[in-house]
Amino acid sequence: MLYKILYMFQSDINWFNVFRYITFRSVLSTLTALSISFLFGRFVIRTLKELRARQYVREEGPARHKAKEGTPTMGGCLIIPAVVVSVLLWADPTNIYVWLVVAVALLFGAIGFTDDYLKISRKKNQGLSGKTKLAMQITVAALVAIVLYLYPGFDSRLNLPFFKGVAPDLGWGYALMVVFIIVGTSNAVNLTDGLDGLAISPIIVAFGTYLIFSYLSGHIKIASYLQIPYVAGSGELAVFCGAVVGAGLGFLWYNAYPAEVFMGDVGSLSLGAILGTVAIITKQEIMLVLVGGLFVFEALSVIFQVGYFKITGGQRIFKMAPIHHHFELKGWPEPKVIVRFWIISIILALMAFSTLKLR
């Protein structure tokens, strides 16, 4: 919004022309969200404590986690508003993709908020039933898929990295893939959020990566040179990604080990869904497997653990899933698990960038 107002005066104040540039507004969006989450962090933590929004730790978890009982949760109530306010200030309000991703952030945030609220009101780690939560996620993701499928500026071809000019049109199958990506990424981030700062830092890395991908895919000349799909208007999502990076950095200030606050499902479900939606709109869906590789790895560890447990009648592949608990139970101190997983997420992001010219 501010962007449109300030740009109106660029004929009177010439340097206001700079507000036209996505790069400049992405930096402002990052700094605005960082300022909001950092400055309001202490107030939100205090309010969550007063509202008894405290974490109930599952019995069967690693013993060390019992000490975390009572930590304020629902820190997503700090992250999401910081993101939305920054996006409304600095993104182009006429861009449909911006509003679609804002809607995803708020609707998945509402699902997570409901889950967190039920856990807190029941005073145990049992919120929405798995089926109810999944049904709500699929419903929202299906609405996104329908909007994108029907939007004339968006096509249903699947962009395959490494294969020049190969982009099969999946038709309605693309809509199903959209639902799978959004719901899958949302739940993968949710599963990953099990140690202090373990989810938010790879989120910052992933959105920093998609900030650049958004800018590239929305720039017709650069997209053509790199031979990646040009998606008119997707460049504005760089402003959105910048807001998530900024809000995430401000939240990490308080979520860093030992955490003063957890993001809750209100944060993890929303951030995961946003990441999946941005990957789809920029037509870098397959790249998400690499950029969000840590989230994929965590989710797969649960799938394989549960599957093997059922097939073998009780045996386990890992000491405990998701995989971060396995290393905890191997004796790695929590900060060591966290930082090593951060390193992996940075390596994966660098690998994703390296594919940009490998065609």
Residues that bind ligand 57M (CB under 6 A): 55, 57-58, 60-61, 65, 68, 73, 190-191, 193-196, 255, 259, 262-265, 268, 302, 305-306, 316, 320-322, 325
| Beta carbon of residue 214, minimum distance to ligand 57M (angstroms, whole number) | 26
- Write down the least CB distance from residue 25 to ligand 57M, Å: 30
Residue with the shortest CB distance to ligand 57M: 61
- Residue 254, C-beta contacts closer than 8 angstroms, at least 6 positions apart: 41, 42, 45, 75, 260, 261
Least Å from the CB of residue 79 to ligand 57M: 11
CA–CA dist 47, 276 (Å, integer) = 30
Name the residue nearer to ligand 57M (CB basis): 224 or 312.
312
> Please, are residues 285 and 174 in contact by the beta-carbon 8 Å criterion?
no
- Nearest-angstrom CA–CA distance, 108 and 289: 21
The smaller minimum CB distance to ligand 57M, of residues 30 and 55, is found at 55
- Residue 197 or 235 having the CB closest to ligand 57M: 197
- In the complex with ligand 57M, the residue whose CB is nearer, 153 or 258, is 258
Phi, psi of 54 (to 5 degrees): -115, 150
Q: Residues 136-165, buried b or exposed e (16+ Cβ, 10 A)?
A: bbeebbbebbeebeeeeebbbebbebeeee
Q: How far is the CB of 170 from ligand 57M (least distance, A)?
A: 30
Nearest CA-CA partner of 328 in 185, 188, 196, 186? 196
Q: Which of 237, 259 has the CB closer to ligand 57M? A: 259
Q: Which is nearer to ligand 57M, 155 or 260 (CB)?
A: 260
223 versus 323: smaller Cβ distance to ligand 57M:
323
**Minimal distance, residue 82 CB to ligand 57M, in Å:** 16
What is the Rg, in whole angstroms, of the alpha carbon atoms belonging to the chain?
Answer: 20
- From residue 348, alpha-carbon distances to 285, 292, 298 in Å are 15, 8, 14
Shortest separation between residue 181's beta carbon and ligand 57M, angstroms: 19
User: Given the complex with ligand 57M, which of 84 and 111 has the nearer CB atom?
Assistant: 111
Distance of closest approach, residue 322 Cβ to ligand 57M, in angstroms: 5
Phi, psi of 157 (to 5 degrees): -85, 145
Q: Exposed, middle or buried, 66 (CB in 10 Å: 0-12/13-18/19+)?
A: exposed
Contact 104, 281 (CB under 8 A): no
Nearer to ligand 57M, 187 or 234 (CB): 187
CA pair distance 358, 185, nearest whole angstrom: 26
Q: Which two tokens stand for residue 330?
A: 């191997």
Quote the least distance from Cβ 315 to ligand 57M, whole Å: 10
Q: Identify the CA nearest to 142 among candidates 99, 185, 189, 180.
A: 180
Q: How far is the CB of 203 from ligand 57M (least distance, A)?
A: 12
For residues 48 and 73, the answer to whether their CB atoms sit within 8 Å is yes
